[in-house]
Amino acid sequence: MSRTRQHLIIDADDTLWENNIYFERAFEEFVEFLDHSTLSAPQIRAVLDEIETVNNKVHGYGSANFARNLRECYLHLAEREIRPGDLEKVMAFGECLHLHPIQIIEGVEETLRHLRKRHTLVLFTKGHREEQKLKIDRSGLAGMFHHTAIVKEKDAAAYRSLISDLALDPALTWMIGNSPKSDINPALEAGLRAVFIPHAHTWTLERGEVLPADGRLLTLERFSELREHF
């Protein structure tokens, strides 16, 4: 593969830099503040997952929507009378997330420099457009990519649109990411090849079984291992 120029489409959150760990910490603060008498953290998480599944289809992703979801979850589960300032505090757990540090995952910068010399790199991410642009700018990695695309949802239709827009050859194009739901399965469905790099803290709504790929799937433990294959 390394002798032929490939198109490498690369996910951002939890592939290039840490992201969901900050949402998990905010959720832990929310659980502590809620202080529910009977529900465990996983049970509260299940309620929040249901809320997010519905709301994400309308509002999309990002810290502002996460804050709204926490607010709705609090209104649904709070056992005490809601006090002045409670909802503001709950929403603050999510609203501040757009300012979290950009922690580049180990080996990413060196690997991108290596890959850029050999292949065409495309950064493909989903979420609130301005929030994702800010993260890309703050990461310092924007210059590593030949093209960047931010979409509301990364489904098979979005991949087909990207293929068309950039005139990509699916046989020479790989999607690289940590999410079965948004990175791997829809890319495979759209006819691309894929590299799955699992992350220990992938968001619960992004997890799932990877679809059968007929030889079009490569699974690696670390981003830096891409240098051995491309």
pLDDT band at 1 (very low <50, low <70, confident <90, very high): low
Give domain limits for the chain: 7-17+104-228, 20-99
Report whether CATH 3.40.50.1000 matches the domain 7-17+104-228.
yes
pLDDT at residue 3, as a whole number: 67
Average pLDDT rounded to a whole number, residues 89-106: 92
Q: Is the pLDDT of residue 2 over 60?
A: no
Fold of the domain built from segment(s) 20-99: DNA polymerase; domain 1 (1.10.150)
pLDDT tens per residue across span 145-157: 999 999 999 999 9
pTM for this structure? 0.92
- Cβ-count burial of 224 within 10 angstroms (0-12 exposed, 13-18 middle, 19+ buried)? middle
